[in-house]
């Protein structure tokens, strides 16, 4: 019995390390889940003269997707968002984060525009209110303006299918 003690200790340490290997240290749990989405009002990307306010989406279940033309990972998730917009399952609002207006517009022209509109957060202040630290980030906000889900990083087809869309259906059904 005693002979196996070191082996047992080794197994425990190995198990901890193995779990650690598969955790993503970038995925920090957001304190904003189930809290009201911070209200904001920003100029729109396409029409600088017009503003978009988060309250405009009250009564709708919607996605807020933080993106930037300089963000390489955004390109990876972009086709998924374009496809989602085409399906019409949930409206997507973009938050163009710390970007040059010209670059953002060109990026959308090049890769397609899945957004109902994009709010233009040039100095990243709204990003800070939403605790954004790694673009892309995506928030699912319910009809009462409560953040229900946050994805840090690329929205993959799997995450869309297994997490976001079921939650959208649930939120649309219950409220």
Partner 1 sequence: MRKLLAVVVIALCSAVCSAVYALGAHAADALPTESALDKRVTALAQDLRCLVCQNQTIADSQAPLAIDLKNQIREKIAQGMSNDQIIDYMVQRYGDFVLYRPPVKAATLGLWFGPAALLIFGLVVLFRYLARRRRATDAPLTDAEHQRAQALLGMTDKESK
- In whole angstroms, how close is the CB of 31 to partner 1 at the nearest point? 4
Sequence-ordered list of residues with C-beta below 8 angstroms from that of 60, at least 6 positions apart, any chain = 91, 143
Q: What distances in angstroms separate CA 64 from CA 6, 45, 60, 147, 162, one per listed residue?
A: 51, 14, 12, 10, 18
The answer to whether 42 touches 120, Cβ cutoff 8 Å, is: yes
Shortest distance in whole angstroms from residue 124 CB to partner 1: 5
**CB-nearer residue toward partner 1: 68 or 155:** 68
- Cis peptide upstream of residue 120 (ω within 30 degrees of 0): no
Residue 128 as a binder of partner 1 (CB under 8 A): the answer is: yes
Residue from 2, 3, 26, 102 in contact with partner 1 (CB under 8 A): 26
The distance of closest approach from Cβ of residue 133 to partner 1 in the complex, given in angstroms and rounded to an integer, is 4
Interface with partner 1, residue 32, by CB under 8 A: yes
Handedness of CA 51, 35, 28, 60 (dihedral sign): negative
Return the HEC string of 121-142.
Answer: ECCCHHHHHCCCCCCCEEEEEC
Binding mask 135-174 for partner 1 (x = CB under 8 A): ----------------------------------------
The smaller minimum CB distance to partner 1, of residues 91 and 124, is found at 124
Question: Contacting partner 1 (CB under 8 A), which of 129, 143, 153, 154?
Answer: 129
Q: Contact 158/165 with Cβ under 8 angstroms?
A: no
Which residues lie near partner 1 (CB under 8 A)?
25-26, 28-32, 98, 123-125, 128-131, 133-134
């Amino acid at each position: 019995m005693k002979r196996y003690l070191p082996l047992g200790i080794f197994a425990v340490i190995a198990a901890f390390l193995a779990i650690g290997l598969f955790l993503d240290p970038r995925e920090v749990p957001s304190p904003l889940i189930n809290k009201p989405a911070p209200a904001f009002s920003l100029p729109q990307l396409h029409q600088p003269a017009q503003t978009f306010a988060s309250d405009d989406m009250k009564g709708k279940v919607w996605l807020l997707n933080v993106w930037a033309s300089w963000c390489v990972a955004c390109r990876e998730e972009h086709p998924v968002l374009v496809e989602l917009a085409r399906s019409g399952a949930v409206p997507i609002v973009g938050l163009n984060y710390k970007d040059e207006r010209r670059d953002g517009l060109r990026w959308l022209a090049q890769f397609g525009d899945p957004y109902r509109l994009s709010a233009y957060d040039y100095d990243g202040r709204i990003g800070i209110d939403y605790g954004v630290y790694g673009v892309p980030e995506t928030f699912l906000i319910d009809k009462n303006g409560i953040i229900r889900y946050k994805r840090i990083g690329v929205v993959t087809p799997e995450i869309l299918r297994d997490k976001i869309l079921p939650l959208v259906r649930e939120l649309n059904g219950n409220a």
